[in-house]
Amino acid sequence: MSAKDVLSESIEEYLEVLYKLSKEDPLVKTSKISESLNIAPGSVTQMLKKLDSMGYVHYSPYKGAVLTENGLIKAQKVTRKHRLLERFLYDVLKIKKDKVHAQACEMEHVLSDDAERALCHLLEQPDECPDDLEPIPACNFKFTTCEECKERSNEEIDEVGDRNEKLVSIADLNEHEMGKVSFIRGDYKVIRRLMDMGITIGANISVLKIAPFKGPVEVSVRGSTLALGRDIANNVFVEQTV
Amino acid sequence: MDNQKTYYFHDPESSRKSRSNDLKKEHQKEAEFTVALAGNANVGKSVIFNQLTGSEQIVGNWPGKTVEMAEGKLNFQGHDMHIIDLPGIYSFSTFSMEEIVSREYIAYEKPDVVINVLDASVLERNLFFTLQLMEMEVPLVLCVNQMDIAKQKGIIIDTKKLEKALGVPVVPTVAVRGEGLQELVKTALKVAEHKKDCKKAVKYDAIEYGGELENRIRDLAEMIDSEKLDLDYANWWMAIKILENDPEIKKLVASKSHKIIQYADQLAYEIEKIHHEPTFAVMASERYALANKIAAGAQIQTEIKISFSERLDKVLTHPFFGYITSAMVIGGLLLWTFVIGGYISDQMTSFFNFFQPVPTSETDPLYAILWNGAFGGLVAGLTLIVPFVVPFYILLSYIENSGLLTRVAFMMDTFMHKIGLHGKALIPLILGYGCSVPAIDSTRILETRRERLLAAFAITFAPCAARTIIILSLVAIFVSIWWALALYALDILIIFIMGKLALKAMPGESTSLIMEMHSLRVPSFSVILKQTWNRTKSLIYLVFPLFIVGSAIIQLFYVLGVLNIISDFLTPLTVSWLGLPAFAGVLLLLGIVRKEFILLTLVSFVGTDLALALNSTQFIVLAIVGMLYIPCLSTIGILIREFGWKAAGTITAANLITAFIVGGLFAHILPYIL
């Protein structure tokens, strides 16, 4: 393995950890990263400075790092590959739950985007990883629903292009935050039900309330109030607006 | 999804015939006009229906379906009208039985006018449905209801502007107070009369979608027109549905002309190329864009007011207080049912005090069958079912119509997911603690047959009132209260284990919660009473014949001595495996009618001091088996009605097997412990 590959792998590992930790607080402390990756704080600081220079994070000394939009998109991509692979190892290859994580960590860096898409089709648009039930981020193709993705061949995929926008699932929004629906994951039936209720692509949606214990999310869309189970909320992605 | 498919009409011709026969046709024949009420759920449709029809209603099931429908009569200015209340839906796709039933009703029965009821406070979402009715080209009147709630939220609607934008007459109403209803009926009558005169489908110009879409719909509609398919749906609407890839309509058209489907597939592909979205998504966006435009033009948001109901809502879904209020709602429902029910039950029991079973051996056998059996069954029904069911239904109806239920479901969703169900399934399960029959009846609030079956299965193991009586009187009195509590805990454990097992046996995607949280409101008292009456009535029709006939048949067997033969036949199971006395076979057979019969018959065999006949192990084993072994006759009856013979048989077998395994294990282990 060349030194360059090693570097890019370790960048991806950092971004993955940053993504996971930033769910609790966008500003991720150096000490937390050092704890998660089991790397000395000094080295972490070095790396964060490097990531800052590459435009993936904003690093402020003694405080920590915040993912930039670019960093977030890259972090989501690698996290998505990791969690898809976990699903594949667990569902298809029947590898034990406690072993999938380490294996997926190794594989995620070499999985191509085409393979990622094929894996998603094979697994029928999975939405959470098997070990800790964390949601799988949306893909970076410029699709608005999974239905459309299923219709497109591999040759057509370049035509579709990349989304390159920051997507957040409404389950990850806080109370009173809002966004514009830009991608819905799931089968025909779910997408259709959501659209009938007013959650169409481009609709403005705002989160009113989040029930505790991973319960439903109450949202307001088109003047009506809906409760969406957490599993559905995980699959409705928005571009956040203020 | 697969389960739901069985409800679809695969042959529209035959279903049309059967429906026409099943529907209360004579009602319709004498009426001059047929009026259908359609709209989203919780917009006040039933209130309007009740106000219009008064006591002249029939509530029944759609043939072969568990979709309820209500029909009634209204005489207005000398005109007889037949009114039908269609189920509350959000769209005309094929994802629920309600949606299919509604669109087929409109297409096949061709009501003279459809009154589309809208919630004024959620105008845009409601107009999405209105546009689909207009696509179907039905004669239409819009009833913008709950104007008062909209006003409380600071929304003012200019119905004249709405009328102009849509080209459909619009009447504002506040149905709970009867405001605007006269005007509504008058307008509906005018539209219906006009329709009778010109006998043509109504074409609405107001619906205009994007050019690239509109042109293709028109092309396809023209092709359908030229092919002369002679179907009941409007060509325009069918064109849209085929483009949207609606499985039912596609199949219907494909059976007549393949050319249309081929052309439609090509058009759909073109649309998808332009929009980068599936056509159904493009259509949904287009409809909403239009609905948004029309709504925005007709309403003004004056100020954003926070009403009392919104403040109350904050408490009900609060991360801490929400659980307390949910517990209060559930607890209150149970407490109210048992306290009120218990009181009424006591009163009725003392009223029926004259009823004492006669000793079978000393009387005329026929008299024993009629008195002990048939009349005994009737008394059991009157004193055990009615007193608990009526107060329960009243409060349940209140909780449902006020919007409290949706808040409880919102808070409890996470917990219900553990057994493959979502928040709304909590209600049937709670009900199961009272009586399995209304509990299984109420599984109708769940979306899919699979979920209803899962819930019903769990309910058949729930410690209903009759089971509680057995546990208390056999174990608490003759063994110890702690063993009684242990059995209760065991039962809950078994529910959980069996729930998990059923989940394994019936794998499938569990439906996630997508639920409208409509504004909290004080429900209409007349709707609650009507709902309670209709529910109680349908339950009585089901349960009473079963009680009377079932109990008479068992008495007949008893008199003929058949019971003893079966009981002897059962001895390997009852005596060898369960370690019970031989007469336990008779007890368990009689217990099929009603669980309490186990106790009553036991008393009639050995007198009140049961300890003379059974030891502690036998008490516990008999209680376990009695608690689990079979759903009672009326529960089996409602299982058959709701899910068919096969499912009812499977559930009963699962109950039996569980009971004998658990009972036998206890019979063999307990002697070492006690």
> Average of pLDDT values for B148-169?
91
Q: Contact at 8 Å (CB) between A136 and A19? A: no
Whether A224 sits inside 8 A of B95 (CB atoms) is: no
Cα separation, B334 vs B322, in Å, equals 18
Q: What tokens does B110 get? A: 């061709």
Q: Mark whether A223 and A209 lie in a shared domain.
A: yes
Q: Of B269, B234, B192, B212, whose CA–CA distance to B92 is shortest?
A: B234
- How many interchain CB pairs under 8 A, A with B? 126
Looking at the structure, do residues A58 and A82 belong to the same domain, yes or no? no
Chain A, nearest residue to B119 by Cα: A224
Distance CA A49, CA A92 (A): 40
Q: Which helix (H) or strand (E) holds B593?
A: none
Q: Which amino acid is at B386?
A: V
Of B90, B123, B276, the CB nearest to A196: B90
Q: CB–CB of A211 and B516 under 8 A? A: no
Q: Please give the residue range of the domain that contains residue A97.
A: 71-137
Specify if A220 maps to a domain. yes
- pLDDT tens per residue across span B301-311: 887 777 777 88
Q: What angle do CA B597, B438, B103 make, to 5 degrees?
A: 145
Residue B355 has what pLDDT? 66
Q: In sequence order, what are the residues at sequence separation of 6 or more whose Cβ sits closer than 8 angstroms to the Cβ of residue A132?
A: none
Q: Is residue A230 included in any domain, yes or no?
A: yes
Distance (Å) from the alpha carbon of A103 to chain B's nearest alpha carbon: 28
Going by pLDDT thresholds of 50, 70 and 90, the confidence category of residue B20 is: very low
What integer is the mean pLDDT of B580-602?
Answer: 81
Give the three-class secondary structure for B468.
helix
**Ordered structural domains, chain B, with CATH:** 2-198 (3.40.50.300), 211-301 (1.10.287.1770), 321-348+359-509+528-673 (no CATH)
Question: What type of residue sits at position B148?
Answer: D
- Provide the 8-state DSSP code for A142: S
Q: Is the pLDDT of residue B25 over 70?
A: no
Query: Shortest Cα distance from A203 to chain B (angstroms)?
Result: 9
Best to test chain B binding among A123, A141, A160, A196 (most B CBs inside 10 Å) = A196
What is the pLDDT, as a whole number, of residue B200? Answer: 67
What gap in Å lies between CA A65 and CA A32, rounded to an integer? 11
Which of these three, A67, A87, A119, is where a domain ends? A67
pLDDT in tens, A86-140: 999 999 999 998 899 989 988 998 898 889 999 999 998 888 888 778 889 988 8
Q: ipTM, 2 decimals? A: 0.86
**Residue given tokens 């089709």 in the structure block:** A121
Q: Is B331 exposed, middle or buried (0-12, 13-18, 19+ CB in 10 A)?
A: exposed
* Residue B582 burial (CB count, 10 A): 13
pLDDT band at B10 (very low <50, low <70, confident <90, very high): very low
Angstrom CA distances, A87 to A81, B456, B483, B514, stand at 10, 32, 45, 26
Confidence of residue B384 (pLDDT cuts 50, 70, 90): low
CA distance A44 to chain B (A): 38
Q: Within this chain, do residues A118 and A178 fall inside the same structural domain, yes or no?
A: no
A174: CATH: 2.30.30.90
Pairing status of strand A224-228 against strand A217-221: antiparallel
Tell me which chain B residue has its CA closest to the CA of residue A213.
Answer: B414
Cβ distance B422 to A229 less than 8 Å, yes or no, reads yes
Q: For residue A120, what is the domain's CATH number? A: 1.10.10.10
Sheet holding B68-76, edge to edge: B57-61, B68-76, B79-85, B33-39, B113-119, B140-145, B170-172
- Residue A143 belongs to a domain: no
Task: State how far the Cα of B277 lies from the Cα of A181, in Å rounded to an integer.
Answer: 14
For residue A211, give the nearest of B125, B291, B317 by CB distance: B317
Chain A: closest CA distance from residue B552 (Å): 49
Domains held by chain A: number: 3
In a domain, A221, yes or no: yes
CB B113 within 8 A of CB B74: no
| Same domain? A223 vs A235 | yes
Instruction: Between B68 and B246, name the one with better pLDDT.
Output: B246
- Model confidence at B65, pLDDT cuts 50, 70, 90, reads low
Cβ distance of A197 and B514 shorter than 8 Å:
yes
Angle at B46 between CA B107 and CA B38, to 5 degrees: 25
**What was the pLDDT predicted at B166?**
93
For residue B476, pLDDT over 60 is answered with yes
Report the distance separating Cα B31 and Cα B79, nearest Å.
Answer: 8
| Angstroms from A217 CA to nearest CA on chain B | 8
Rg over CA atoms, chain B: 29
Question: Is B75 within 8 Å of B81 (Cβ atoms)?
Answer: yes
Q: What angle do CA B41, B42, B45 make, to 5 degrees?
A: 85
Distance CA A221, CA A213 (A): 24
Q: How far is B221 from chain A (nearest CA, A)?
A: 23
Give the pLDDT of residue B359.
66
User: Which of A137, A160, A181 corresponds to the end of one domain?
Assistant: A137
CB contact under 8 A, B280 and A198: no
Average pLDDT of span B585-597: 80
Cα separation, A138 vs A120, in Å, equals 10
B414, B415, B514 ranked by CB distance to A193: nearest: B514
Distance CA B132, CA B283 (A): 11
Residues 6+ apart with CB under 8 A from B254: B260, B261
Inside any domain, residue A158: no
DSSP states of A82-140: HHHHHHHHHHTS---HHHHHHHHHHHGGG--HHHHHHHHHHTTS--B-TTT-PBPPPPS
- Whether the per-residue pLDDT at B535 is higher than 80: the answer is no
Beta-bridged to residue B143, according to DSSP, are B117, B171
> What integer pLDDT is reported at residue A26 of this predicted model?
86
Best mutation site among B241, B410, B447 for testing chain A: the one with the most A CBs within 10 Å?
B410
User: Of A95-104, B296-305, B353-362, which gets the smallest average pLDDT?
Assistant: B353-362
Q: Smallest CA–CA separation between A50 and chain B, in Å?
A: 39
| pLDDT at residue A211 greater than cutoff 70 | yes
| Residues in B lying within 8 Å of A, measured between beta carbons | 1, 90-91, 93, 95, 121-125, 128, 272, 276-278, 280-281, 284-285, 288, 291-292, 295, 317, 319, 322, 406, 409-411, 413-415, 417, 422-423, 512-518
Question: Does residue B532 contact residue B350 with C-beta atoms inside 8 Å?
Answer: no
Confidence of residue B145 (pLDDT cuts 50, 70, 90): very high
Q: Does A152 map to a domain? A: no
Q: Between chains, do A211 and B512 touch, taking CB under 8 Å as contact?
A: no
Average pLDDT of chain B?
82
DSSP per-residue string spanning A173-240: SPTT-EEEEEEE-S-HHHHHHHHHTT--TT-EEEEEEE-TTT--EEEEETTEEEEE-HHHHTTEEEEE
pLDDT score of B154 more than 80: yes
| B142 pLDDT more than 90 | yes
- pLDDT for B2: 34
Interface test with B, best of A156, A176, A218, A222 (most B CBs within 10 A): A222
Contact B423 A216 (CB under 8 A): yes
Phi-psi region of B644 (alpha: psi -120 to 50; beta: other; left: phi over 0): left
Q: How many CB atoms lie within 10 A of CB A217?
A: 27
Tokens representing B450 are 């699979």
Which one, of A90, A142, A91, A100, lies nearest residue A117 by Cα? A142
Contact yes or no for B1 and A189 at CB 8 A: yes
- Answer yes or no: do B514 and A229 touch at CB < 8 A: yes
Distances (CA, A) of B539 to B451, B488, B515: 22, 28, 27
- Residue-wise pLDDT for A45-60, tens only, equals 999 999 999 999 999 8
In a domain, A211, yes or no: yes
Last residue of a domain, one of A47, A67, A87: A67
* Residue A236 lies inside a defined structural domain of this protein: yes
Q: Name the percent of chain B in helix, strand, coil, to the closest 5.
A: 70, 10, 25
